[in-house]
Structure 1
Amino acid sequence: MEIAVVILNWNGKKLLKTFLPSVVKYSQGAQVYVADNASQDDSIAYVEENFPQLKIIQLQENGGYSKGYNQALQQLKEDIFILLNNDVEVTENWLAPILSKFKNSAETAIVQPKILSYQHKNHFDYAGASGGFLDSLGYPYCRGRLFNELEEDQEQYDNPIKISWASGACLAIRKPIFFETGMLDEDYFAHQEEIDLCWRASRLGYEIWVIPESKIYHLGGGTLHAMHPQKTFLNFRNSLFNLVKNLPGTKAFLFVFIRMVLDAIAGIKFLAERKPKHFIAILKAHKSFYLNLPKMLKKRKGNYNNQKYASLTSIVWQYFILKRRKYTDL
């Protein structure tokens, strides 16, 4: 199997200088690409000068995570695509366990490694930790991360398991399945599009796995800081998109209604915390959701009977009411 490690970059020269050396050093046997989303800094000049062995895909506009990767991956011939953020430090032998899983399991469509924090290397990272799950209302959580609560890595989640979604910080997918699912949804721009992709793959009968033997470190917030209102907007809106596209009809609309009530409560909480920009971001997210609803309804297709994907757990109830802070407490 041939592997393409594809790093999407936008004005990320500083990040590339920090993180690209580890990718080049430890990705022997794979072809590393830098797909540039029309950067305005000299990212490409830096890569060309310092890493001439890498291949560069220059995109004409910043289409975000979804469009950028869709355009880049359509140009590649490799069997396995690994979508890797430009703020990730990889470790020695990180590719071998991922490749082994694909070779030994035909049902496996998508794989992620164990993702630890670059700043606090003994703790899990927010974006994916040791595997992502969804509760019954579509809220994402992870082995090692519930909302903003990050657990210390004590090898408690080192067993490989099937998961609901793999992190977009490092997502490995078979080429044919990437295109069979319909690729990433470009209407998302960024955030939660990997959850939608995994959900669609699961509904097609494929499996998503975390393989913790493979380990990486993720900085996070390299393009958009975690507390940026635009990130709040995208997360709230795109999470609603996920429900409309991937749940059966009656359940989808019931859960969207419940989610909007909970979103309103979240907005009030932002106001109480004196974060009015995030309150406004939620209002904008709901407006954008309604404006895009006809388009999302047209995207509903495929098998809606395989609903083991979303657990019956209410992570909101477990975390905020029952005060459970660890994945093992759920």
Structure 2
Amino acid sequence: MVEYDHKLFVVIVNYRTADLVIDCMHSLMQPEGVPERTRIVVVDGASGDGSAQKLETAIVENKWQDRIDLLPLETNGGFSYGNNRGIDHLKERYGSAEYVHLLNPDTVARAGSIGTLVAFMDEHPSAGIAGSRLEDPDGTPQACAFRFPTAVAQFEGEFRFGLVSKLLDRWRVVLDTPTEAVRVDWVSGASFLIRSTLLEKIGQLDEEYFLYHEEVDFCLRAAREGWECWHVPQSRVIHLVGQSTGVTERDVAPRRLPAYWFESRRRYFTKNHGRTYTAIADSCWLAGNLLGRVKSVVKREHYPHPPHLLRDFVHHATSKAKQS
């Protein structure tokens, strides 16, 4: 039996969302916020907007220094980079922990939610990863349990047409909201618990991803080594969707997707499935997108996608293909 210095390490990566992180820290510092023997680090990815100073002041004023560290970085290397630096910091300063929890800055942990996730992992030694139920402040569930992306799923996700979607349901990436703990392919990185022995086996997050698809990649690497991934809806975490990036923010007009979204998607497919399969996946996405546009015109529906999506997709797909 391995003896660990701590039960849990928690890493929160901030980029210009200091107020959200302070709310998140408050939720973790409540009596049922985190298990005993937990250390937390807030990593600031070179925000340049005074975030680091604001976070340091909040930690001192609330007397959280004995539980929370602040790690200001000199560069914004993205989600994987920031989380890996946070994990490194905790290991170097505090030794070992049985689990590592990656938590988004735009989350608020409901009472007992983190402890519930840890307890689940304690009871399921074959589980290497577990994710919380993510929800709106009013309790409305969000998509947080998924299948791995495939070429077929790329087509269905863009077309989304009744009978076709029903026929392709077994490939649909987003799963229906589970009510009980269920084994899935991958879970959202917004509340992402990892067993330390898994990290030792497969390594940390791939820093070639700036943002998006890094948790999918990590879960696939884990699955290929025989580890299980579980969605645990009894662990409930409020997720203020899109507040940290603005990309998926609700109740506002869709925004143009940043270049790193396309780059991350392409890296996931080429790294894990090769260039030929990536070309097939791209073709399926394009076919689904074009048919979806035709469907919207015929049915006189509003086309809900981000602006310039098709043009941007083609640009990034062709430019990367040429570089290859």
Alpha-carbon separation, structure 1, partners of 2:134 and 2:17 = 21
The match for 1:198 is 219
**TM score, norm. by length of structure 2:** 0.74
The match for 2:42 is 34
Seen in structure 2, the aligned counterparts of structure 1 residues 261 and 125 have a Cα distance that, compared at 3 Å, is: same
**Correspondence 1:214 to 2:235:** yes
The amino acid that maps onto 1:23 is L
Question: What SS does the corresponding residue of 2:231 show, helix, strand or coil?
Answer: strand
Structure label with greater radius of gyration: 2
Alpha-carbon separation, structure 1, partners of 2:56 and 2:34 = 18
Q: Deviations over 1:278-326 (max 9, x none)?
A: 333323431454266x5xxxxxxxxxxxxxxxxxxxxxxxxxxxxxxxx
Seen in structure 2, the aligned counterparts of structure 1 residues 242 and 275 have a Cα distance that, compared at 3 Å, is: closer
**Correspondence 1:238 to 2:264:** yes
Q: What is the aligned counterpart of 2:106 among 87, 97, 107?
A: 87
The match for 2:78 is 64
Q: How does 1:240-255 map to 2 (within 5 A)?
A: 240-247=266-273, 254-255=280-281
In 2, are the aligned partners of 1:66 and 1:184 still within 8 Å (CA)? yes
The amino acid that maps onto 2:141 is F
Gaps of 5+ in 2: 92-96, 155-172, 249-253
Q: What is the aligned counterpart of 1:122 among 126, 136, 139?
A: 139
The match for 1:165 is 186
Question: What SS does the corresponding residue of 2:89 show, helix, strand or coil?
Answer: coil
Deviates more, 1:135-144 or 1:216-225: 135-144
In 2, are the aligned partners of 1:263 and 1:282 still within 8 Å (CA)? no
The match for 1:74 is 88
Identity %: 23
Q: What is the aligned counterpart of 1:7 among 8, 12, 15?
A: 12
CA RMSD of aligned residues (A): 2.9
Question: What SS does the corresponding residue of 1:110 show, helix, strand or coil?
Answer: strand
The match for 1:133 is 147
**Correspondence 1:20 to 2:25:** yes
Alpha-carbon separation, structure 1, partners of 2:295 and 2:260 = 18
The match for 2:165 is none
Alpha-carbon deviation of 1:106? 2.2
The amino acid that maps onto 1:186 is E
Question: What SS does the corresponding residue of 2:174 show, helix, strand or coil?
Answer: strand
Seen in structure 2, the aligned counterparts of structure 1 residues 79 and 285 have a Cα distance that, compared at 3 Å, is: farther
**Correspondence 1:281 to 2:312:** yes
In 2, are the aligned partners of 1:20 and 1:86 still within 8 Å (CA)? no
In 2, are the aligned partners of 1:8 and 1:85 still within 8 Å (CA)? yes
Alpha-carbon deviation of 1:116? 0.7
Q: Deviations over 1:12-57 (max 9, x none)?
A: 1221243321122212422121011011122222222222321111
Alpha-carbon deviation of 1:196? 1.0
Q: What is the aligned counterpart of 2:125 among 84, 99, 106?
A: 106
Alpha-carbon deviation of 1:167? 0.5
Question: What SS does the corresponding residue of 2:197 show, helix, strand or coil?
Answer: helix
In 1, are the aligned partners of 2:147 and 2:186 still within 8 Å (CA)? yes
Seen in structure 2, the aligned counterparts of structure 1 residues 280 and 171 have a Cα distance that, compared at 3 Å, is: same
The match for 1:223 is 244
Gaps of 5+ in 1: 145-156, 295-330
The amino acid that maps onto 1:285 is H
The match for 2:163 is none
Alpha-carbon deviation of 1:228? 2.8
Question: What SS does the corresponding residue of 2:141 show, helix, strand or coil?
Answer: coil
In 1, are the aligned partners of 2:104 and 2:191 still within 8 Å (CA)? yes
The amino acid that maps onto 1:95 is I
In 2, are the aligned partners of 1:241 and 1:289 still within 8 Å (CA)? no
In 2, are the aligned partners of 1:160 and 1:211 still within 8 Å (CA)? yes
